[in-house]
């Protein structure tokens, strides 16, 4: 019995496979989370860019492309509204980003507003 126990405890032939099995799930979770958080940042930046360009174009030009043509993020297209305000042309937009990290699944409402005199 003593020799069997010694052989089992001193055998290291499967140590690499066990370490791999312990390290890979958290690593993949972290990578997927980083990618999704990056997409959230890109969506927010693209929404702000589209709103700012839409407000500037509406104030400067007579004929402008729709602000949604300046929105480059994946997913659903945001809802843009253009109104005349005291500050000039006011453009606002909202979009829902579905954060889909491995353990976190949550819709996040993003909004942006820009006014250009």
Model confidence over 58-90: pLDDT tens digits? 999 889 899 999 999 988 999 999 999 999 999
Rounded Cα–Cα distance for residues 11 and 83 (Å): 74
User: Angle at Cα 76 formed by Cα 102 and Cα 83, nearest 5°?
Assistant: 135
pLDDT, one tens digit per residue, over 3-52 is 888 887 787 888 889 999 999 999 999 999 999 999 999 999 999 999 99
Host H or E run for residue 81: strand 79-85
Query: Residue 89 — φ and ψ, nearest 5°?
Result: -95, 120
Which residues are registered as beta bridge partners of 92? Answer: 81, 113
């Amino acid at each position: 019995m003593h020799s069997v126990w010694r052989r089992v405890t001193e055998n290291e032939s499967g140590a690499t496979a066990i370490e791999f099995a312990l390290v890979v799930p958290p690593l993949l979770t972290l990578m997927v989370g980083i990618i999704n958080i990056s997409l959230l940042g890109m969506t927010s930046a693209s929404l702000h860019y589209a709103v700012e360009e839409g407000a500037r174009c509406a104030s400067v030009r007579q004929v402008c492309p729709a602000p949604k043509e300046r929105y480059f993020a994946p997913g659903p297209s945001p809802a843009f509204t253009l109104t005349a305000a005291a500050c000039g042309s006011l453009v606002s937009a909202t979009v829902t980003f579905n954060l889909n990290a491995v353990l976190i699944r949550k819709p996040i409402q993003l909004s942006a507003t820009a006014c250009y005199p």
